[in-house]
Amino acid sequence: MEDRNKLQSEWKRPDEVMQLHRLKMKKRALQARINNTRINKKNLESEPTQKSNNQNIVSNHCVGQKRKNPFIKDETDKKLNITPPDMEASNDNTLFELLKIKVPKMNETENSINDRSLTFSNAFLQLEANKNILDLEIPKGEKYIPIDWTLKTKMRFMSPKPFPWNCKLKTSEEASGTTGFVRCLDISEQHSTLDTSPNARLHQCCLIWQHPSLPWLELFPRSTGKVSANLTSNSMIVNNMLIKEALYKEWSESFRSLFHLLRARQCPYFYVCATNFTVLFRAAGICGISEAHALLTPTTRGFRQSLKQEEIEYTMPLRKDCKRQSDVTDSGYDTADSATSLSYTENQNLDDEEDETQDEWLQSLGVENSEIRKINNSQARMTLEKETELDNMKQSLIFVKGVESQALFNFLINCKSAITTTGPLAGVPPTLLSPVAFHGATLKPIRVKESIVRVDSEKYFSLELKGPLLPHVLPSLCSLMKSSQLEQYSASCARLHSTTSFSAMKNNFEQMELGNIPKIPENVFGKENLSDCGFSSELLKDFCSPDPTNIQIIENIKFSNNSYTWS
């Protein structure tokens, strides 16, 4: 019991501990104050002055005046920091750790310590500098929207704030939007009696020209698995030769009219969507290419052999082993310089002579004819496998330009394989899609749906578009939202995967053929020559840009801080 009382007497209460701690702090502060006072007096006063002061103090004390407090600081001294240096350093270090700021090391030179030291007064300045560094590391967006030549099937815009329009169009809004699209007018800039409301401008962006238009058939996309059709009506088309001929004749006239508009540079581009392939025709000046050109994807060996038989020269820019010399293989026919290339018939003759030479050489070695045939069959099979390995792939895209695009047009208008003979679209010609009017075209609206969705318990306003969405639709809608002062929004796109190779080909063939020799940009002349194609000057500038970075495959795009970011 005595030991327990002894231990309890040795214990200290918290208030006693804090009292002792405060007493020690006061002693340290007092000692530092006394030391600083003595040092300052020694520096400021000479020895005679000190003696005279001591005598004055003694005399004044004898007279009965009040003695001066020795602990009062002189007026000549600066205000002292009563906090000990070690405590101030520890407090600074604690603050720096909390703020995650790097503390200067003790082994650094004195000058660097003075330059990089931090105290309570400049700690927040260092924080602001770190914030600026982080801002520089964050990738910033661009002021423009790249062009995506991939055909889109759906597009959804989402914004935390309501859109400046609604899907319920008034009579004047629908009429003005239709008039602006058909006449290729920019109703937001021109002074006219047309309605310039956001609803009218939205309706103008959601229209397209299409041929043919059969209400009971869905002609875009042309994928057989996604087409819903009335088989009875379709069998009527297949079995009735008069209907098939009438559809083909009408389609041929529309295709010819559209191609003539493109050659006259009054149509910037158009698509030909068949069941097995898609063709993109572009006018001269688009993407900085000075001649009309076309891209076709995907292709097969049989289709490419048909082009060779028609003596249509093409290139395969997405093929890795693309060569500029000409031979009978696909890679060998990738030629753009007719002066250094051989025609298909010349190549075939040369190969026949080589085969005869090889057969004679094998016979001279005593190889039997049966073995020679086996060798030839094995070699032909290997060549066939090499040519067919790219079939229906992105790398099978072919590119033609100039007179070859005219030859491709003649080939397609007479191509029997362009019209399928089986499935729900049997006997129906390919779908023509264009941003401008042409003979036999039907004005088709893009379906628009507006709704409110919730993502992570947050409300967003949604605008969904469904239908054939051409490359100019996305930049036109983004321009409309920017002019409507919509501060933040995002868009996601569902694309037709078979057409992604159109945007994968970014190279300017004008410079490739000249050995990457710098040229005067063609976009200035292209803009002037395409001034009547129906696009605004800003939109036409982007479509005529020869910069390959201006072409991107866009799945998602976001607008914030007055800039665009995409992926």
Q: What is the pLDDT of residues 394-433, one digit of tens each?
A: 899 999 999 999 999 999 999 988 898 888 888 899 999 9
Amino acid 164: pLDDT = 86
Amino acid 13: pLDDT = 79
Max avg pLDDT among 56-60, 94-98, 352-356, 421-425: 421-425
Q: Is 474 helix (H, G, I), strand (E, B) or coil?
A: helix
pLDDT higher than threshold 80 for residue 81: no
pLDDT higher than threshold 80 for residue 457: yes
> In terms of C-beta density within 10 A (0-12 exposed, 13-18 middle, 19 or more buried), how is residue 29 classed?
middle
The band of 21, judged by pLDDT with boundaries at 50, 70 and 90, is confident
Q: In what order do the strands lie in the sheet with 458-469?
A: 447-455, 458-469, 152-159, 489-495, 556-560, 563-566
Amino acid 193: pLDDT = 83
Q: Please compute the mean of the pLDDT values over residues 88-99 and round it to a whole number.
A: 55
Q: What is the pLDDT of residues 318-359, one digit of tens each?
A: 987 644 333 334 543 443 333 323 333 334 444 545 555 776
Q: Please compute the mean of the pLDDT values over residues 298-304 and round it to a whole number.
A: 91
The band of 465, judged by pLDDT with boundaries at 50, 70 and 90, is very high
pLDDT higher than threshold 60 for residue 447: yes
> Could you tell me which residue, 386 or 107, shows the higher pLDDT?
386
Q: Is 24 helix (H, G, I), strand (E, B) or coil?
A: helix
Amino acid 36: pLDDT = 72
Query: What are the tokens at 308?
Result: 């060779």
> Could you tell me which residue, 451 or 342, shows the higher pLDDT?
451
Amino acid 101: pLDDT = 55
pTM over 0.85: no
Q: Please compute the mean of the pLDDT values over residues 545-556 and round it to a whole number.
A: 91
The band of 248, judged by pLDDT with boundaries at 50, 70 and 90, is very high
Radius of gyration of the chain, Cα coordinates, nearest whole angstrom: 41
pLDDT higher than threshold 50 for residue 212: yes
Amino acid 467: pLDDT = 92
Residues 6+ apart with CB under 8 A from 185: 179, 192, 194
Amino acid 405: pLDDT = 95
Amino acid 179: pLDDT = 94
The band of 252, judged by pLDDT with boundaries at 50, 70 and 90, is very high
Query: What are the tokens at 142?
Result: 């661009």
> Could you tell me which residue, 296 or 548, shows the higher pLDDT?
296
* Alpha-carbon distances of 293 from 256, 285, 508, 522, 525, rounded to whole Å: 16, 10, 12, 15, 17
Phi-psi region of 440 (alpha: psi -120 to 50; beta: other; left: phi over 0): left
The band of 294, judged by pLDDT with boundaries at 50, 70 and 90, is very high
pLDDT higher than threshold 60 for residue 162: yes
Amino acid 33: pLDDT = 78
pLDDT higher than threshold 80 for residue 189: no
pLDDT higher than threshold 60 for residue 84: no
The mean predicted confidence, pLDDT, of the chain is 76
Compute the distance between CA of residue 101 and CA of residue 119 in angstroms, rounded to an integer.
Answer: 11
> Could you tell me which residue, 63 or 415, shows the higher pLDDT?
415
Q: Please compute the mean of the pLDDT values over residues 152-160 and round it to a whole number.
A: 94
Q: What is the pLDDT of residues 488-497, one digit of tens each?
A: 999 999 999 9
Query: How would you label 246-258 residue by residue, b for 16+ Cβ within 10 Å and e otherwise?
Result: ebbeebeebbebb
